[in-house]
């Protein structure tokens, strides 16, 4: 039997807990009860957990110590894609964040681009906590061991300072058919990667020049023009498949 998976907010030895809204969803919406069993992701492994106490703001689990109830994951061996996603209309952007999480992106950096609407850029900082809830729920739904990190929004000129140190391959998605196809570019790489996706209308010319100066590889998805959220999902899926 497949048990629903939850990503623990707190772990101490053989106990774990969900807190706040995370716990409220299990207690109020799903009406869980003491004694029910779930798979609990602790960060390094997934263990069977039995509810021992439950309230609307905290649910505690006893974690099974039997070896056959454990599944250990080598997180360092998994593909690691950092998605530098330009901020665009929130409902579409959040759909992209959810779907890219489901297929396995490791980190998301919201980027304030030249074509990002001013009101969206101003509201993005307050949106960060919502985005973190979205990725946690999507990671649980897709049975992952941890949600991707969602960084604070940054302006494009500050993106270099927000990138993980190990991501040596940096690819910016462009719309020019003169650029190499993303699939062809990915055949040459097998390391951690940063993938930059522009807003509706794509990156501005000056921004593409910045990427070029910073040593990014420009690649396209071909002649078809995709919405920003569709391009993000397609490009991320191609990159993850290439790194596996």
Q: What is the mean pLDDT of the chain?
A: 86
CB atoms near residue 191 (< 10 Å):
11
**Does pLDDT of 2 surpass 80?**
no
* Distance of alpha carbon 196 from alpha carbon 194, whole angstroms: 7
Model confidence pLDDT, tens digit, residues 107-158: 999 999 999 999 999 999 999 999 999 999 999 888 888 889 999 999 999 9
Model confidence pLDDT, tens digit, residues 26-56: 888 889 899 999 888 887 788 899 999 999 8
Comparing CA positions, the residue from 113, 155, 156, 105 lying closest to residue 131 is: 105
Q: What are the two backbone dihedrals, phi and then psi, of residue 23, each rounded to the nearest 5 degrees?
A: -70, -40
Residue 63: pLDDT band (50, 70, 90) is very high
Model confidence pLDDT, tens digit, residues 160-213: 989 887 667 889 988 776 778 888 887 766 568 899 999 998 999 899 999 999
Q: How far, CA to CA in Å, does 4 sit from each of 14, 51, 141, 142?
A: 19, 13, 8, 10
**Does pLDDT of 74 surpass 50?**
no
pLDDT at 95: 97
pLDDT at 25: 86
What's 217's DSSP letter?
A: E
pLDDT at 158: 95
* Distance of alpha carbon 82 from alpha carbon 93, whole angstroms: 16
* Distance of alpha carbon 31 from alpha carbon 52, whole angstroms: 14
Residue 72: pLDDT band (50, 70, 90) is very low
Q: Name the more confident of 3 and 62.
A: 62
Domains defined along the chain, listed by start: 5-72 (2.40.240.20), 76-243 (3.40.1280.10)
pLDDT at 213: 92
């Amino acid at each position: 039997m497949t048990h629903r998976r939850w990503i623990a907010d707190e772990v101490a030895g053989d106990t774990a807990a969900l807190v706040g809204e995370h716990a409220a969803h299990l207690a109020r919406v799903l009406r869980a009860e003491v004694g029910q069993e779930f798979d609990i992701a602790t960060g390094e492994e997934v263990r069977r957990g039995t509810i021992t106490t439950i309230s609307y703001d905290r649910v505690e689990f006893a974690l099974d110590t039997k070896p056959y109830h454990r599944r250990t994951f080598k997180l360092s061996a998994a593909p690691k894609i950092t998605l530098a996603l330009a901020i665009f209309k929130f409902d579409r952007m959040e759909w992209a964040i959810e779907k890219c999480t489901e297929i396995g992106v490791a980190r998301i950096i919201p980027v304030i681009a030249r074509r990002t609407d001013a009101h969206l850029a101003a509201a993005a900082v307050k949106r960060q906590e919502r985005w973190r809830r979205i990725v946690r729920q999507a990671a649980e739904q897709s049975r992952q061991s941890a949600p991707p990190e969602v960084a604070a929004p940054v302006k494009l000129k500050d993106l270099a300072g927000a990138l993980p140190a190990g991501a040596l391959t940096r690819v910016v998605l462009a719309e020019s058919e003169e650029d190499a196809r993303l699939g062809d570019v990915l055949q040459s790489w097998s390391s951690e990667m940063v993938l930059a996706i522009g807003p509706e209308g794509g990156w501005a010319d000056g921004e593409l020049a910045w990427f070029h100066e910073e040593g990014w590889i420009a690649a396209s998805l071909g002649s078809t023009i995709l919405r920003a959220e569709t391009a993000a999902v397609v490009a991320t899926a191609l990159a993850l498949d290439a790194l596996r």
